[in-house]
Amino acid sequence: MTLKIAVDPDSATAPYEQLRAQLSEQARSGTLPVGYRLPTVRGLAGELGLAANTVAKAYRALEADGVIETRGRNGTFVAAAGDAAARHAATAAREYAEQARRLGLPEADARAHAEDAVRAAYARQGLH
C-alpha cells in the first residue's frame, strides 16, 4: 500500500492542515486500514518536501483527534478507533447546544448559528 498525499503549496490552506485532512479522510474511509504504519515524520517530510515540524504538527493533531496513535519507537499507526471523529463531533455539538441554551438563545437561532458555522468551515476546505 502506498500513501497518497498531495500538498498544494499555493493553497490558502496551511500545508499541515492539508496533510491532516487527507490522512484523516483516508483513515476514516478505510483507504488507510486500521494498524497501517505511517512513515516517520522525517520520512514523510522528505517525501512531500515539507519541514519536519509541519508533518509533526499534523501528526499531533491527528493523534489528539484519535485518528492515529504513536507507539513509541515502534512507530505511528492508524488507530483502531474508527468512530473517534464521530465521538469528538458529537461531544462538541453537545457542548455547543448546552452553551447556547445557557446563553438563552432560542433553539432556532442556535441551530442557525451551528449550520452557518458548518457551512463556512466546509466551504473554506472546498468540501461543500
Cβ–Cβ under 8 Å, residues 38 and 78? yes
Q: Which residues contact 57 (CB under 8 A, 6 or more apart)?
A: 16
12-40: average pLDDT: 92
| Listed range (16-25, 57-66, 76-85, 95-104) with the worst mean pLDDT | 76-85
How many other CB atoms are there within 10 angstroms of residue 58's CB atom? 27
pTM: 0.68
Backbone φ and ψ of 76, nearest 5°? -120, 135
User: pLDDT for 5-19, tens place per residue?
Assistant: 999 999 999 999 999
CA angle, residues 88, 23, 27, in degrees to nearest 5: 65
**To which residue does cell 461531544 refer?**
91
Residue 21, classed as helix, strand or coil, is helix
Q: What is the pLDDT of residue 85?
A: 67
Higher per-residue pLDDT: 88 or 119:
119
